[in-house]
Amino acid sequence: MSNIKLTAILVDDEPMALNSMERMLDKNCTNVSVIGKTKSPEKAIQLINNLKPDILFLDIAMPRMDGFTLLNSITYKKSQIIFTTAYDEYALQAFKTSAVDYLLKPIDSNELKQAVHKIGEQLQSDSTQNYIADLFERLHKKNKNIGSIGLPTMEGLDFIKTEDIIYCHSDGNYTEIYLKDKQKLLVTRKLKFMEEKLEATQFVRVHNSYVINLNFVKKYIKGRGGTLIMSNGANVPVSVRKKNDFLDSL
Lowest-confidence segment of 28-37, 133-142, 157-166 by average pLDDT = 133-142
Asked if residue 166 has pLDDT above 90, the reply is yes
Q: Mean pLDDT across the stretch 179-197? A: 88
| Distance of alpha carbon 92 from alpha carbon 88, whole angstroms | 7
Asked if residue 138 has pLDDT above 80, the reply is no
Say if residues 13 and 39 touch (Cβ distance below 8 Å).
Answer: yes
- pLDDT tens across 82-110, in order? 988 776 553 454 455 444 677 888 899 99
pLDDT of residue 145: 52
pLDDT of residue 87: 63
Query: Which position has the higher pLDDT, 147 or 72?
Result: 72
Asked if residue 8 has pLDDT above 70, the reply is yes
Q: Which CATH number fits domain 6-139: 3.40.50.2300, 3.40.47.10, 3.10.130.10, 3.30.70.100?
A: 3.40.50.2300
Q: Which CATH number fits domain 148-249: 3.30.360.10, 2.40.70.10, 3.10.310.70, 2.40.50.1020?
A: 2.40.50.1020
Task: Name the residue among 248, 231, 107, 240 with its Cα closest to residue 180.
Answer: 231
Query: Which position has the higher pLDDT, 247 or 76?
Result: 76
Query: Which position has the higher pLDDT, 123 or 165?
Result: 165
- pLDDT tens across 38-53, in order? 999 999 999 999 999 9
| Distance of alpha carbon 237 from alpha carbon 208, whole angstroms | 10
pLDDT of residue 46: 96
pLDDT of residue 146: 52
- pLDDT tens across 50-71, in order? 999 999 999 887 777 878 888 8
Spans of all domains in the chain: 6-139, 148-249
What pTM did the predictor assign? 0.60
Mean pLDDT of the chain: 84
pLDDT of residue 199: 75
* Strongest mean pLDDT among 38-47, 128-137, 193-202: 38-47
Phi-psi bin for 64: left (phi > 0), alpha (psi -120 to 50), beta? left
Does the fold of domain 148-249 match that of domain 6-139? Answer: no
